[in-house]
């Protein structure tokens, strides 16, 4: 069995703001083994980015309260001293951000920014670090890396910048790579390239990947396991297969229904989830998806636990609907409205 790298148990993150306490993350559990890809899916404000940043301790602040545990190789990162955590950041757990346009410092050369990460964690000469930067740029597919290493970020295209970010993240050979919406800001053709690159490099570097996205299509490509987040908590969790072929939570159905698919009859209109995600300061009572859920009934006033309700043991969800009823009603959401009969 593969080495267990990361274990998140009952993670809660709260920000004290002037308007009240924001429950950004409210109960997240997952495990990550070496060589695996975990997809975290949810819309904006569902807590997926905060979860990722918390793994690296980047949400630490006097107004932030944490609960639960983030165990990395047996150590709890949540109460690890800042100085020790810095040795983990970038070195053992590295991160790629959403917008490559703004994630690189515009005034330093790309190569210097990669070398900076290397020099922070490894005792090597500047020349060696630079040489390593060239090598990394070559591996992420930047043509002519010997010269490109001296370019500034504005001389790179968006896709190249994201490649440079990946090179930077991989510079210290991390065990866990967190990619926070790595393809959202890129063209569709580049998206596929970047995803393939991450997937290939994961094997080369023997790391595990947490892939955060709002796009189930992205997850479908590369993830082994998927968790779906809504309003700071996990509403469904399962293998990619289970989640795509036997989705249990109405929110997941909504997400599935909102992506156009070529393998199904063409709907007149794609499904859209009605309403807005709830305020994380005043959460609705009971199931957090209840106000937007077309299938809500009396029982939903109490929040269901994240439990296994189907035969697949690893497939968990938070929904009171009986499994048979779910299976009969979900098609109309996933397939889109007024489905044409083929």
Partner 1 sequence: MVAVLFMVSLLVFVVFILIPGGDPAERMAGKNPLPANITNIRKQWGFDQPFYVQYGRMMQKAFTGLAPGSHSEYAVLTSFQNRQNVVHEIKRGLPATFSLCIGAALIWLVFGILVGVISAVTAGRWSDRLITTLALVGISMPVFFLGIVLRYFLAEKPAHPLFPDGEYVPLSSDPAQWAYHLILPWFCLSVLFIGFYGRVLRSNMLDVMNEEYVRTARAKGLTPRRVLQRHVLRNSLIPIVSLFALDFAAVIGGAAILTETVFDLKGVGWYAAQSVGDLDLPPIMGVTLYGSFFIVVFSTLADVFYAYLDPRIRPT
- Closer residue to partner 1 (CB): 115 or 293: 115
Question: What angle (nearest 5°) sits at the alpha carbon of residue 172, between those of residues 168 and 174?
Answer: 100
122 binds partner 1 (CB under 8 A): no
The token pair at 339 is 């489905």
94 binds partner 1 (CB under 8 A): yes
Burial of 82: CB neighbours in 10 Å, binned 0-12, 13-18, 19+: exposed
152 binds partner 1 (CB under 8 A): yes
| Radius of gyration of the chain measured on its C-alpha atoms | 21
Q: 27, 90, 145, 277: which one contacts partner 1 (CB under 8 A)?
A: 90
Number of other CB atoms surrounding residue 238 within 10 Å: 25
120 binds partner 1 (CB under 8 A): yes
- Closer residue to partner 1 (CB): 168 or 235: 168
In the bound complex, what is the minimum distance in angstroms from residue 4's beta carbon to partner 1? Answer: 23
What is the DSSP secondary-structure string of 69-103? EEEETTEESTTS-HHHHHHHBTTTEEEE-S-HHHH
161 binds partner 1 (CB under 8 A): no
Burial of 136: CB neighbours in 10 Å, binned 0-12, 13-18, 19+: buried
In the bound complex, what is the minimum distance in angstroms from residue 89's beta carbon to partner 1? Answer: 4
Between CA 209 and CA 212 the distance in angstroms is 9
- Closer residue to partner 1 (CB): 43 or 116: 116
Question: Which DSSP symbol is given to 144?
Answer: S
Q: 168, 170, 176, 235: which one contacts partner 1 (CB under 8 A)?
A: 168
133 binds partner 1 (CB under 8 A): no
49 binds partner 1 (CB under 8 A): no
Question: What residues line the site for partner 1 (CB under 8 A)?
Answer: 56, 58, 86-91, 94-95, 97, 99, 102-108, 116-117, 120-121, 152, 154-155, 165, 168
């Amino acid at each position: 069995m593969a080495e267990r790298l990361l274990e998140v148990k009952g993670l809660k993150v709260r920000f004290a703001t002037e308007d009240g306490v924001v429950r950004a993350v409210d109960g997240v559990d997952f495990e990550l083994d070496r060589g695996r890809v975990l997809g975290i899916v949810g819309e904006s404000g569902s807590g997926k980015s905060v979860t990722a940043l918390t793994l690296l301790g980047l949400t630490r602040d006097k107004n932030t309260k944490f609960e639960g545990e983030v165990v990395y190789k047996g150590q709890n990162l949540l109460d690890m001293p800042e100085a020790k955590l810095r040795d983990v950041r970038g070195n053992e757990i590295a991160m790629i951000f959403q917008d490559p346009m703004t994630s690189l410092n515009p005034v330093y050369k790309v190569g210097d920014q990669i070398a900076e990460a290397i020099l922070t964690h490894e005792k090597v000469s500047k020349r060696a670090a630079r040489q390593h930067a060239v090598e990394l740029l070559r591996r992420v597919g930047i043509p002519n890396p010997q010269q490109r290493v001296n370019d500034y970020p504005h001389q790179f295209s968006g896709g190249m910048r994201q490649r440079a970010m990946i090179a930077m993240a991989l510079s210290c050979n991390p065990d866990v790579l967190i990619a926070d919406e790595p393809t959202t800001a890129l063209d569709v053709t580049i998206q596929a390239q970047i995803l393939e690159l991450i997937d290939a490099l994961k094997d080369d570097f023997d790391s595990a990947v947490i892939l955060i996205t709002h796009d189930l299509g992205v997850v479908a490509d590369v993830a082994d396991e998927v968790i779906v987040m809504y309003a700071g908590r996990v509403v469904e969790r399962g293998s990619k297969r289970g989640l795509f072929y036997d989705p249990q939570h109405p929110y997941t159905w909504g997400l599935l229904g909102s992506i156009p698919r070529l393998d199904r009859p063409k709907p007149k209109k794609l499904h859209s989830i009605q309403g807005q995600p709830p305020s994380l300061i005043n959460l609705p009572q009971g199931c957090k998806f209840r106000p937007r859920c077309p299938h809500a009934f009396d029982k939903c006033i109490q929040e269901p636990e994240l439990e296994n309700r189907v035969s697949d043991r690893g497939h968990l969800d938070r929904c009171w609907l009986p499994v048979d009823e779910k299976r009969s009603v979900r098609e109309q959401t996933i397939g889109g409205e007024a489905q044409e009969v083929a």
